[in-house]
Amino acid sequence: MKKMYLSFTLSLYCFAALLNAQCVDPSLVDFSVYCPTVMSPVCGCDGETYANACVAEYQGGITSYSPGFCNNSNFCYVDNPNIVYCLYYWEPVCGCDGMTRTNSCLAESAGLVAWYPGGCNCVPVDDFSVEFIDGHPNEAYVSWDATEAYDYELWYRPVGVNQWNVINTHQFSVALNHIRLEGLEPGKMYRFKLRSSCTNGVWDDFTPVQSYKTPKCEAPMNITTTQLYSNKVRLDWNHNPFTQKYQVFYREAGSNDMWEKKLVGVPGRNWKILKDLSPGISYEYKVRSYCLLEYGPFSPLAYFTNSPTGNPLRMASDRKTETIIRPNPVRHEMLVNVQVDDAAEYRLSVINMLGQPQKELVHHLEQGEQTILIDLDDLPVGQYILLVEYGGNAAYHKFIKS
C-alpha cells in the first residue's frame, strides 16, 4: 500500500514538472523586444499575472495565457510602495486597479506596479455650454462635463473669419472642464467647437459647432419716474446685466441749457434719484449705459413734470397719508402704520440699496388708521428702503435689517 501511494505521488510530481516545462519556454525570453507600457493583464499558464501578452511571452517565456488577472492575484500592488513627494500636474494614467491617478508619480506612490496613459473612464466630450459674464460683454465662460481626458481643445472664431482661435486646457497643468475667454467683440456672432484627447496627441472628433452672439451695450429701456417730493424724483429703468454703470442727463424741457449729468456707478443699480428740482417745472431726460470702456446709445428722450408745491403725499383731492414704521432697526417683522383719509389701493415695496425689489405687497386700505405686517425674516442684514405708492404718488422710508 505504501509503495502504491509513493508511486502515485511521484507520478503527480512528474506530471506537474512536465506541464511547467510545457508552460515556460526559456527560448522565448528576449529582453531586446520592447514591450509597450499598456496595462492589459493576462494570466499565464504558470498561475502568474503579467502586465500584457508581450511581457508574458518575451520576459516570462510563457507559452500560453488568458486575458485578465489570475485568481487571488496581488500583481497590481507592491508590498512596500516608494512613497515620494509628487507635483500636482494633470497627465492622467489608468492604474492596474482600474482607478485614474493624476499622474504617474502619484500612481507609483500609491504602490501600483503598472499603468497606462489616459484616464480609465475617458470618453470623448460631446457637448458644452457658453455663458456670458455680467458686466463684461467681451468675455464668455465655456464649460462642459469632465470626461477624464488628458486635454481639451476649444476652437472659436467670429462668423466671416476663416482663422480659428485655439485654446487647450493642458497648458494650465490642471484638470479643467471650463475656459474663460477674453477679448471678444461685443455684439458679434461667434462659432465654437470642442474636442478632447484621452492620450497625448490623439484627438477625438469635434462636438457639433455652436453659434452664440456676444451681448452689446444697449440703451436703457422702460424708464419710469416716481415723484418723491416736490424737489425730488426717482428714475427707474430695465437693467442690462452687461452694463457696468449708467449716466443720466436731464434739463428743463425745451431749453438749450447744458445737460445736468448724474453717474450711477454702483454695479447692478438701475435707478437714480434727482434732487434739488424746481417745483412745477417740466424736465426732459435720457439715460445711457457704459460697457467696456465706452458708452452705448441713449434711451429715447422722455419727460416729467415736477410736483408744484408741498409733499406729493397730498393728493389733488387733498387726501393725506402718513406712514410710520416700527421697529427700526428691525429683526423679524416690521409694522407699518398708515393713516388713510380716503380708501385706496396701496403698494408697499422693500428695495435693497442696489435698487432691486426684495418684497412687494398690495393692499386695499380703507379710511382710517391701518396696520400692515411685513415678514422680513428672509432678508439678509443691511439697509433697505420701504417704498409706499398709491394713486401715482409715493413716499419712502429707510430702515435697517439687523
User: What mean pLDDT comes out for the span 56-83?
Assistant: 78
CATH number of the domain where residue 184 is located:
2.60.40.10
Instruction: For residues 297 and 355, state if they share a domain.
Output: no
Same domain, 328 and 387: yes
Q: How confident is the model at residue 210 (pLDDT cuts 50, 70, 90)?
A: very high
Number of domains, the chain: 4
- Whether residue 392 lies inside any domain: the answer is yes
Residue-wise pLDDT tens digits, 328-343: 888 888 888 877 767 7
Instruction: Tell me: pLDDT of 142 over 90.
Output: yes
pLDDT given for residue 160 in this prediction:
92
Q: Are 109 and 41 within one domain?
A: yes
Same domain, 102 and 144: no
Domain match, 207 and 228 both: no
40 pLDDT higher than 70: yes
Q: Which residue has the higher pLDDT, 321 or 234?
A: 234
Residue where one domain finishes, among candidates 189, 213, 237: 213
Is the residue at 9 inside a domain? no
What pLDDT digit, counting tens, does each position of 162-195 carry?
999 999 887 776 668 899 998 898 888 999 999 9
Query: Do residues 90 and 163 both lie within one domain?
Result: no
Q: What is the dihedral of CA 161, 202, 143, 184, to 10 degrees?
A: -20
Mean pLDDT, rounded, for 236-249: 87
On whether residue 181 sits in a domain, the answer given is yes
Written as nine digits, the cell of 51 is 502586465
Same domain, 27 and 110: yes
Instruction: Please indicate, yes or no, whether residues 36 and 100 belong to a single structural domain of this protein.
Output: yes
Distances (CA, A) of 96 to 90, 109, 120, 131, 175: 19, 14, 10, 39, 21
Per-residue H/E/C for the chain:
CHHHHHHHHHHHHHHHHHHHHHHECHHHCCCCCCCCCCCCCEEECCCCEECCHHHHHHCCCECCEEECCCCCCCCCECCCCCCCCCCCCCCCEEECCCCEECCHHHHHHCCECCEEECCCCCCCCCCCEEEEECCEEEEEEEECCCCCCCEEEEEEEECCCCCCEEEECHHHCCCCCEEEECCCCCCCEEEEEEEEECECCECCCCCCCEEEECCCCCCCCCCEEEEEECCEEEEECCCCCCCCEEEEEEEECCCCCCCEEEEECCCCCCEEEECCCCCCCEEEEEEEEEECCEEEEECCCEEEECCCCCCCCCCCCCCCEEEEEECCCECCEEEEEEEECCCEEEEEEEEECCCCEEEEEEEEECCEEEEEEEECCCCCCEEEEEEEEECCEEEEEEEEEC
Whether 251 and 329 share a structural domain:
no
Asked if residue 147 belongs to a domain, the reply is: yes
Environment class of residue 223 by beta-carbon count within 10 Å: exposed (0-12), middle (13-18) or buried (19+)?
A: buried
Quote the pLDDT of residue 127. 93
Contact predicate 200/150, CB 8 Å: yes
> Is residue 2 included in any domain, yes or no?
no
In a domain, 329, yes or no: yes
Are the C-beta atoms of 312 and 299 separated by less than 8 Å? Answer: no
pTM for this prediction? 0.54
Pick from 89, 117, 145: which residue ends a domain? 117
Q: Which residues form the domain of 152?
A: 129-213
Q: Kindly state whether residues 113 and 26 are assigned to the same domain.
A: yes
Domain shared by 336 and 396, yes or no: yes
Quote the CA–CA distance of 385 and 399 in Å, as a whole number. Answer: 6
Write down which residue in 213, 248, 269 finishes a domain. Answer: 213
Q: Is residue 77 part of a domain?
A: yes
d(C-alpha 117, C-alpha 110), whole Å: 16
pLDDT at 72: 58
The 10s digit of each residue's pLDDT in 333-375 is 888 887 776 777 778 888 887 667 788 887 777 777 778 888 8
Average pLDDT for 69-78: 70
In a domain, 11, yes or no: no
**What pLDDT is recorded for position 322?**
65
What pLDDT score was predicted for residue 37? 57
